[in-house]
A and B are shown apart, each in its own frame.
Chain A
Amino acid sequence: MSSVKPAGPDATRFKDQLDPAAEAIVVADSVSSAPVRPVTSSLRYRPVGDFQSSLPELSAVNFDPWRQTVLLVLGDERVEIQEGEWSSKRRIHVGHTGPIRDAKLAPGGGFLGVLRSAKMLEILEIDESEHSTSVQELVRDSHSSSAILGFEWTFPGELMVVSSSGFELYQYSGTSKNFVKKKSREARINWYSYWPEVRILVTSVGPLALRLYHMKLDSGADSLMTVNLKPKGNTSGVQSQATRKQITVFFVYGRAFLGYFDLTPDPPLLVLYRISRSTPSHSVSYPLDGRGTFIANTVDNLIVVTNVVTKLFLIFDMKNDGTEAVVSTARIPVQDENDIDAVIEWQPCFPDYILVGSRGMLYCIQVDLQALAHDMRENSSGLAVVTFLARRDMDDPTFVLQIVAEMMREGASVDQMRKAFDPLNSRVRQIGPSDTPQGMIRDSSTDSVNSLGSIGTSENNLNGSAAGSPTARRKHQAHAGSASTLQRALARSHEEFNATRRQLCTQELLFANVFEPLSKEATFPSVYLTSCLFEYIASLSVAARQTVQPCFHELVCDLLLRDNRHTELHQLVQYNVVEDSAAVARRLLARGDVYAPFKQLGLDMLKRLDANNEVADVLLNRGEFLDALRYAVSRSVTTVPPTSFLEAALQSGDRTLFLNTYKCLEDRGMMTAAHADQAVAGLPPGSAAGRYVSVFREMWGEVVEMDSMIDM
């Protein structure tokens, strides 16, 4: 939860400058003369909260991104709660018992904690009306040095109070109607920060020492790693201590990281430590640009670092090779100079919100992937851009496919194309109304139930598809405690996650946007296109274990036939790389005159597909009448007109063959014996079939009569 103090009278100015209905602030800059890239629209700041009406009396703002609640402290005796997409506003009278240093709403909205001073925390019970009732006062005045640093609502009915001598965990007791201390940890704490989404408490236990805890249901707290920060540059004076603003926690690609802005070297560094239960593992150091004050957010698993002094931002992707920024030193897209002035007050809210208290605004950061990809294309290979985009959360992957097609037009190596196809095929996104920019996708490569990252993921996933709705988020938060064990929660979340997966770049999209158009370009090398197609099919079949759509097999078939690569196609059909389909079978049969084995392959394929009519037709057309008849009989084909067989038998000039054919059809019900003198089954009397009946009578009438006599 983040809080800021408003900037006073200047804050009103904000009202005239910002149109809350605006989709985003995207404008030119005129502030810095630093050698930075031109204005980029790869980041957008979408206004999501507006509390300007409260600005005149506002003394502090708290935003809880997890519960999507803004809590405004108005003077010393009222708080305003904005929730439900900020449509609902409640003003609560908390009484006038001193200044309000901090106020936070409990999950479910039943309790409000108000920190009156460094010694006293008051807990109030609130109801739907604007009144509140004091439930309890937690006082820490046994030692003069003892001070309450802050408090956090961890789970429904659970409270953590952090003081300079440690932290205590309280749980609400229904019988005593107050919060009972369940556990406490002694430690000398200089400051702390709490990250509710991953339930990680970071405490400063020394100038450069941090100890981390993982909060658990039922007042549990697991000790995590202790980090001794080691600044790279000279540590003198103030820089020898890590401040709260230098520390952040990231949750990217399903893993939690502790971020430390090391300001001592030049350029400063953002150092990320993978959070674990034991020793910290130093992950990576990202060089920042210039000196200043840095804030960080995560958007769609990207780390956005903003220098609020220089008004520049960088975007890092942990999965990129190296430590170079994806977007380096781009200027913050703000509307005008007033907005530029306000950047210095920007307060990051985990994960992708920016709170500007002085302006009474809350923004959500969004990445414009299309613009970002365009920028990346200038310096990066197509493969790098595609793999980058494949990791992103996109609704419309069409422009990714455009880059794929572009790569192929540029003649990227087939190996590179395979590397591009693999992530596109394996990439999935969650179905549902979720439009949260936060990374909801679990990357399979980082899928580890034992990692702490999974903890955060599991809780995200427990939200299911309703994660995007603040209301739903709160509801989930209220019930999050129902998971009895972490493992059970993980298992359940995993199931739910898998149940709601779908492919982002579907085969149909790739076919329609890449392969089909390229196959129609007369100048595009079909050999290369075929190789790319094979790699795509291999990627689907081997890497993504998906069934390949028939259109790809047909296209492979067409391309190979176009190039007269008959033997190759023959082997591909033989090994089922080109799978059976009626369309492929027909193509093979049509080319049978040029490459004889295709006649066999096509017919076999039709047989496997149980296209019995077509098989019989093909055999009859080839003049293989007996085979056609045998096949029809063995497969009980009744839909091929008996006249086809009878005509073929008659044309052979073999009377016995005609007799046998006639009787064979008759025995198998393909001719109705009762009407044999008139018609063939399915055909009206007097039709063409009647001719064969007459011929039969003429040829073999005596035999038929003898048969009848024997039967008698």
Chain B
Amino acid sequence: MGDGSGSWKHRPASLAYFAIFNPSFSKSEDSANDQICLFYPSTVPADERARQVGLATALVNFTKTFSPAPCDAVHTRKHRVILHEVEPGYWMLLKVRLGTRTTVRAGHKVVEHLEDGLQDSILRSVLLRAWEAFKLFHRGIDCILRRHSMDVLRKILEEFYSGFLPRINFGSLDLLDAFDGIQFASLSKASYLQVLSLMRALTATFPMLKHPILFWHDHLVWNGLESFDALKPLHSYITDPETGRVYDGVVNQVKRKGEPIIATRRVSLQSVRQSRSFLKSPRRGAKFSGYLVGPVTIGSLDVELKKIYLGPEGIEHNLIVYQVEEECTLVVPVPASEPPDQHSAEFYARLSAFLDERLTTLAPLLADGYASAKNLGEFADQHFRYLYYNSMNLAFKTSIGSYKSTVLTPDLVQCLNRMHDEFARGEYGTAANEICVKTASTDAWVVGRRSGDRELYLVFPKSDVGLVDIDDEVKKFTLGYFSDIL
């Protein structure tokens, strides 16, 4: 892409390799390829695979001699490498090609590698997310290997990651990828008590549904799992606009191909959020209601149970997903140890009737809550470019991209990425907790704050004021919208 004169060309960052390996499987140099469980893309020659994995192993072993925490990131002129031991002995390797800018100077092409484009913390999040997604559906590498051969494991990994990895756009990674947060539904106490009552009635009527999760569009209303961490991979997978589609491992064939399961979550800070049609309900009955995972038609015995594995122990669950009017979605992982009622058509019919009645009543309440919260926060959303994340409950909120006026330029997004990377480098208390930056190119102030497990970023574009005034603005904002917690 050029600036009109064709003097420069930009190529975004891209995936170079992705590998999973276990060095203990290789006893000699000749059998180096034995340690590789997965190497993506598969078109890479065997020698090159062995070389890359061998290099990573050597780096880990070498750095182990200096520090108990081995090397987990390598920066080269052209690449970024992230390493992570996902299971004892099993390593994941992510190698990303840096983006380049090619300029023509005095008739010569000059290729510049954009080092600032990729931050370790964000790449690490992407790597972990890829691992969590695999664990969600396959529990873990070692447990597969204990039951099956290495060939079967390789086939499973290849099948999963060849679908998963191409969806990641390494050229536009930002804090959305880093946090992978959850948007919580905005509800008053009274409304939440009704939600609570519904959840209680659900578990009382269907005792096997112990851990229901309720969404209103992609907003979390109720998490019945034991922790938010346990919810994260499931939430991430089914609200992701790329992965959470029909025909995609999770859902059956009820909805038309290509329709999102729950809603489209934003994938990039640089995109303008599509105007939400949450509150525009054309007419009842026009929207889809039914099982997304469960029987194809109610009353039929054609039940396709989807297995998922949750929690640190990877406990096997059967997944049921039911949606009402494309607004409310109930996701219920049922422990596989529960009696097999889930196979009965009568069970699904009863559950469907229950949910249709209750969730249809609840939906307007949730819509009202969203509308009032939107009205209350409209001023802040329009006038402040902020991003908030709480790692304790994965709560995520941002005004960036909500309106055309709050869209950020790529350099500001990268500035935020760098700030987050800085915060992520050290333990709380030992690293920086507040960073203020004035960008040279856009003349904007970017402020990042870390308070315990929370991060807040504010961007003041084209500001000609000083640091003291910006500090006042930040104070004003936090007092007005985050005074309870920051």
Contact = CB atoms under 8 A, between A and B. Distances in A.
Interface of A: 413-415, 418, 531, 534-535, 537-538, 541-542, 566-568, 570-572, 574-577, 595-597, 600-601, 603-604, 607-608, 623-624, 626-627
Interface in B175-220: 184, 187, 189-190, 192-194, 196-197, 200-201, 204
B429 A626 contact: yes
A534 B226 contact: no
B190 A541 contact: yes
A608 B223 CA distance: 25
Contacts of B200: 414, 531, 534-535
B204 A413 contact: yes
Contacts of A600: 390, 392, 452-454
B227 interface: yes
A534 B197 contact: yes
B190 A596 contact: no
B440 interface: no
B484 A577 contact: no
B193 A570 contact: no
Task: Specify the main secondary structure of chain A where it touches its partner.
Answer: helix
14 contacts: A414-B200, A531-B204, A538-B194, A567-B226, A567-B228, A572-B196, A576-B192, A577-B189, A597-B453, A600-B390, A608-B484, A624-B428, A624-B429, A626-B429
B225 interface: yes
A272 to B, nearest CB: 35
B222 interface: yes
Contacts of A623: 429
A519 B189 CA distance: 24
A571 B223 CA distance: 8
Given A567-B225, A570-B393, A623-B429, A575 B187 contact: yes
B485 interface: yes
B193 A537 contact: yes
Contacts of B222: 571
A627 B187 CA distance: 31
A576 B189 contact: yes
A538 B196 contact: yes
Given A574-B184, A574-B393, A607 B484 contact: yes
A567 B210 CA distance: 13
Given A413-B204, A597-B392, A542 B190 contact: yes
What's the interface size class on B, roughly?
20 to 34
Contacts of A535: 197, 200
A603 B366 CA distance: 29
A535 B227 CA distance: 24
A575 B189 contact: yes
A607 B478 CA distance: 14
A174 B451 CA distance: 84
A541 B197 CA distance: 13
Interface of B: 184, 187, 189-190, 192-194, 196-197, 200-201, 204, 222-228, 390, 392-393, 428-429, 433, 451-454, 484-485
B226 A604 contact: no
Interface centre among A414, A537, A597, A608 (most CB of B within 10 A): A597
B484 A534 contact: no
Contacts of B429: 623-624, 626-627
A66 to B, nearest CB: 44
Contacts of B390: 600
B484 A604 contact: yes
A566 B226 CA distance: 7
B362 to A, nearest CB: 14
A414 to B, nearest CB: 6
Contacts of A566: 226-227
A591 to B, nearest CB: 13
Interface centre among B429, B451, B454 (most CB of A within 10 A): B429
Nearest 9 pairs of A and B residues by beta carbon? A597-B392, A538-B193, A575-B192, A576-B189, A600-B392, A531-B200, A542-B190, A604-B485, A534-B196
A414 B393 contact: no
Contacts of A627: 429, 451-452
A96 to B, nearest CB: 74
B352 to A, nearest CB: 20
Nearest to B451: A627
Nearest to B196: A534
Contacts of A531: 200, 204
Contacts of A414: 200-201, 204
Given A414-B201, A566-B226, A567-B223, A597 B393 contact: yes
Given A541-B189, A571-B223, 7 more contacts: A542-B194, A567-B226, A567-B228, A575-B192, A597-B392, A600-B392, A604-B485
Contacts of B485: 604, 607
B230 to A, nearest CB: 8
B452 A577 contact: no
A568 B213 CA distance: 11
A418 B196 CA distance: 13
B201 A415 contact: yes
A244 to B, nearest CB: 52
Interface centre among B184, B197, B453 (most CB of A within 10 A): B197
Nearest to B485: A604
A410 to B, nearest CB: 16
A608 B190 CA distance: 20
B227 A567 contact: yes
Contacts of A534: 193, 196-197, 200
A537 B196 CA distance: 11
Nearest to B211: A567
A17 to B, nearest CB: 58
A623 B227 CA distance: 26
A661 to B, nearest CB: 15
B485 to A, nearest CB: 5
A608 B482 CA distance: 11
Nearest to A605: B484
Contacts of A626: 429, 433
A596 B184 CA distance: 19
Contacts of B204: 413-414, 531
A119 B265 CA distance: 93
A418 B204 CA distance: 14
A577 B184 contact: no
A421 to B, nearest CB: 12
Contacts of A575: 187, 189, 192
Nearest to A634: B475
Nearest to A531: B200
Contacts of A597: 228, 392-393, 453
Contacts of A577: 189, 192-193, 196
B359 to A, nearest CB: 17
A538 to B, nearest CB: 4
Contacts of A572: 192, 196
A20 to B, nearest CB: 54
Nearest to B199: A568
B54 to A, nearest CB: 39
Nearest to B452: A600
Contacts of A574: 184, 393
A534 B190 CA distance: 11
A459 B314 CA distance: 71
A418 B433 CA distance: 48
A305 B134 CA distance: 75
Nearest to A623: B429
B366 to A, nearest CB: 13
B197 A538 contact: yes
B357 to A, nearest CB: 14
A189 B200 CA distance: 63
A608 B196 CA distance: 24
A258 B390 CA distance: 66
A574 to B, nearest CB: 7
B482 to A, nearest CB: 11
A608 B486 CA distance: 10
A298 B187 CA distance: 46
Nearest to A413: B204
Nearest to A604: B485
B477 to A, nearest CB: 15
A623 B428 CA distance: 11
